[in-house]
Amino acid sequence: MVKAVAVLRGDSNVKGTVVFEQASESSTTVITYNLSGNDPNALRGFHIHQFGDNTNGCTSAGPHFNPFGKTHGSPSDAERHVGDLGNITTDAQGNASGTMEDIFIKLIGEHSVLGRTVVVHAGTDDLGRGGNEESKKTGNAGPRPACGMYLISQFFADRHVYGILN
């Protein structure tokens, strides 16, 4: 079992935590999020980005994590970036909390997302269905008000078998 946590902050009021848990290399990853400070009653793009670099704010995180060269899509699409997590839904106070499972996100193995950045966007992700080139890259999700790099918080596996640490 590997567990990783990201603490999200940025240039806005958006903040919170995202927890990733994966039991084994072949299992799905459970993602639990608890965020506040978003616009009320909104859908907000939610993605894992390429780099664990936040030196220039969330823009340093680069594009969506996409090790297989796919186009942008929804979490249920077979053709999508690994980092495409769709949208989160905020309540009347701008809070969002929930849990999702994902078959492409891996904490264990060759395409691990550990050390990368999770980003909450200021706009709604059109899931690659916007009819333009930007939709196929970003889902037209807009600016990045909050982000955080996620790192291992618990490790209960043989690190040599799973190849996470030397």
DSSP letter at 72 equals: P
What whole-number distance in Å separates Cα of residue 148 and Cα of residue 34?
A: 13
Give pLDDT, residue 157.
46
Task: Identify each DSSP E strand in the chain by its residue range.
Answer: 2-8, 15-22, 29-36, 43-49, 55-58, 84-89, 96-102, 117-120, 146-155
Residue 144 is among the residues annotated as catalytic for this protein: yes
Of 155 and 3, more confident = 3
> For residues 51 and 12, what is the distance between their CA atoms, to the nearest angstrom?
21
pLDDT value of position 163? 46
- Examine the residue annotation and report whether 81 is marked as an active-site residue of this protein: yes
> Can 111 be counted among the known catalytic residues?
no
49 is catalytic: yes
Would the pTM of this model clear 0.95, i.e. be above it? no
Instruction: Report DSSP state, residue 71.
Output: P
**Catalytic site includes residue 44:** no
Asked whether the predicted pLDDT for residue 155 surpasses 90, the reply is no
Who contacts 60 (Cβ-Cβ below 8 Å, separation ≥6)?
A: 51, 53, 54
In this model, does residue 64 exceed pLDDT 80?
yes
Mean pLDDT along residues 54-83? 96
Architecture of domain 2-162: Sandwich (2.60)
Q: Is 110 helix (H, G, I), strand (E, B) or coil?
A: coil
Domain boundaries, the chain: 2-162
Task: Please identify which of the residues 44, 80, 116, 121 carries the catalytic annotation.
Answer: 121
pLDDT tens, position by position, 104-144: 999 999 999 999 999 999 999 999 999 999 999 999 999 99
Residue 161: pLDDT band (50, 70, 90) is very low
**pLDDT at residue 22 greater than cutoff 60:** yes
Sheet of 29-36: strand order equals 84-89, 43-49, 117-120, 146-155, 2-8, 15-22, 29-36, 96-102
Q: Per the structure block, which two tokens stand in for 143?
A: 């600016």
